Structure 1
Amino acid sequence: MEHDWNVLLMGGRELPLWGFAIRATILYWMMIFVTRLMGKRQIGILTGHNYLVAAGIVAISASRMTNPKHGLIEALVILLFYAGINILQSYLDIKFPKFIGRKPIVLIENGQIIKQNLFRALISIDELMSQLRIQGAHKLSQISYATLESNGKVSVTKKFEYQPIQRKTLKLPEQDLNLFLPHFLIYDGVVYHENLKKLGLDTDWLNNKLLEKGISNIRNVFLAMLEDEGTLYVSVGE
């Protein structure tokens, strides 16, 4: 019996059936524990490193469940190490998104396909059309913007006349609509000067807008984003 427990923990040639059952149970609960430890980001936002960690955890657990030569303890250590690396990577991705994370790639802008960005994203026309259909956009003529997000999914913005709630129905003037993708202006207290310049704005305009919202220090702003129709969204960090 002592030998069986040693094989269960450290690995060996043979393992009794009850040992496989115990090993599988422990690894199953360990996978649940490390998944919860890594947070909802691991499940809901599948970035490149999240995918690799998930695949690695499954592969390690499966091999340790079926191969008696592999030890249970080393599997538990590796799973915890994987979880720690993923948490660190996610933190760096949030803290330094410009250096760690992948930026979204605009595939369609103002109804026009951007050929060089398709090559950059390694997406064919057939793959693009497939993703658009999944989003309920079956005609290119109806699309204003399509963006390949950092999680690998394509988001779609339809032209105003094809959106569920039409401005024509609400009798709103079309010339008031200035549809464009949101632009980051501030992230974690850092001003995105290149985006301000691209929009024809400056820091004086930004400071005045923040003062209108009662914010005098840019460093207190976690996120500021210029949205559709010139709306400035601001979130103050705690």
Structure 2
Amino acid sequence: MSEYTIVIVRTIFAFFFILLLARLLGSKQIAQLTFFDYITGISIGNMAAALAIDVNMQPMDAIIGLLLFSLLTTLVVFGALKSLKFRKLVEGRPTILIRNGNVLEKNLFKEKITFDDLMQGLREKSVFKLADVEMATLETSGVITVMKKAEYNPLTPKDIGMPVEAEHTPSLIIVDGILLDKRLNYLGYSKEWLLGEVLKQGAKNFKNVFLAQIDSKGNVYVDLYNEEEKVTQVKQKPLLSAQLRKMQADLEGFAIQTNDQNAKQMYYNQSIELQDLINKINPYLKE
């Protein structure tokens, strides 16, 4: 086997081996150990690189080193989870940079943070005035967290006793031109209703839609493949056809939901009559 072939094989092996180790290590359940992670990543990366291209190195030596380094990393993380003292030793403690609106210059010097660094951290939290800050803390992950003074916090509905409607997570209902029927049915909306909403936003049909998302209030966001082809003026005939089909589907849904036999029969009868009307006028609504 040639030297180039050996390097290629070992590189592929090193890549997937380091990927396996990353999966085994998993996500940490504690605050990010930034510097420790940085050093560990560099060390494991160097070992993997040596395994890939150093033809004079025995593969087993590199594998043992990678496994041992990964094991030690896992032990450090586990120890930080189990012991408060060990966690403080490994990751340190948060440092208060601003307290009661006053900048603590000694702590800035201790953490080697310049005034510009502090202001940048505040701006990242949408704070531009020092006078607005009650407390700012440098976390062990290197992120500056900010607590504004009470008078500068945004007003929430809870502050004024305003009731708000609970919301669920928005759901994608069209992905890459494909309608997710099961998800749409689970949310309680009909295909005809969604088609009407899509037509309102300039699409000709579902296949024109790259992504569509619906929120808990029934608002639909539509992103088309080509925005330049968006219909600027919604054609009323196809929209009317979609609305009629939605009404017909709603009547059938009402019939299924009710336990009153008279109401159930009435909904079914109305649904049949509306379907007959749709069949009659549908040829005139096509464009």
Interval of TM-score (by shorter of Structure 1 and Structure 2): 0.5 to 0.7
Partner of 2:151: 161
Compared with structure 1, are the counterparts of its residues 47 and 92 closer, same or farther at alpha carbon in structure 2 (3 Å cutoff)? Answer: farther
CA separation in 2, counterparts of 1:18 and 1:149? Answer: 47
Calculate the aligned-residue CA RMSD, in Å.
Answer: 2.6
Moved segments of 4+, more than 6 Å:
none
Report if the CA contact (8 A) 1:161-1:167 is conserved: no
How big is the shift at 1:166?
A: 1.8
Report if the CA contact (8 A) 1:160-1:167 is conserved: no
Compared with structure 1, are the counterparts of its residues 72 and 43 closer, same or farther at alpha carbon in structure 2 (3 Å cutoff)? Answer: farther
Q: Does 1:87 align with 2:74?
A: yes
How big is the shift at 1:125?
A: 1.1
SS at match of 2:117: helix
Alignment gaps of 5+ in structure 2? 162-287
Aligned length: 158
Report if the CA contact (8 A) 1:105-1:147 is conserved: yes
Compared with structure 1, are the counterparts of its residues 85 and 154 closer, same or farther at alpha carbon in structure 2 (3 Å cutoff)? Answer: same
Q: Does 1:113 align with 2:103?
A: yes
Compared with structure 1, are the counterparts of its residues 43 and 16 closer, same or farther at alpha carbon in structure 2 (3 Å cutoff)? Answer: farther
- Give 1:175-194 correspondences, 5 Å limit: none
CA separation in 1, counterparts of 2:160 and 2:93? Answer: 37
How big is the shift at 1:43?
A: 11
Alignment gaps of 5+ in structure 1? 2-14, 173-238
Compared with structure 1, are the counterparts of its residues 73 and 118 closer, same or farther at alpha carbon in structure 2 (3 Å cutoff)? Answer: same
Partner of 1:56: 43
Structure of greater relative contact order (alpha carbons < 8 Å, 6+ residues apart): 1
Partner of 2:159: 170
Match of 1:152 among 132, 142, 163: 142
- Give 1:1-238 correspondences, 5 Å limit: 1=1, 16-41=3-28, 45-99=32-86, 100=89, 101-163=91-153, 165-166=154-155, 170-171=159-160
CA separation in 1, counterparts of 2:18 and 2:124? Answer: 31
Q: TM-score, length-normalised on structure 1? A: 0.59
Superposed CA offset, 1:83-104 (max 9, x none):
1111111112122223433111
Partner of 2:227: none
CA separation in 2, counterparts of 1:71 and 1:42? Answer: 35
Report if the CA contact (8 A) 1:42-1:50 is conserved: no
How big is the shift at 1:67?
A: 2.6
Compared with structure 1, are the counterparts of its residues 169 and 94 closer, same or farther at alpha carbon in structure 2 (3 Å cutoff)? Answer: closer
Identity of aligned pairs, percent?
28
CA separation in 1, counterparts of 2:141 and 2:47? Answer: 24
In our comparison, the structure showing a higher alpha carbon Rg is: 2
How big is the shift at 1:171?
A: 4.1
CA separation in 2, counterparts of 1:135 and 1:18? Answer: 51
Report if the CA contact (8 A) 2:48-2:62 is conserved: yes
How big is the shift at 1:137?
A: 1.9
CA separation in 2, counterparts of 1:129 and 1:118? Answer: 12
Superposed CA offset, 1:42-87 (max 9, x none):
9982433222111111122223323322332222111111111111
Q: TM-score, length-normalised on structure 2? A: 0.49
How big is the shift at 1:168?
A: 9.8
CA separation in 2, counterparts of 1:48 and 1:97? Answer: 19
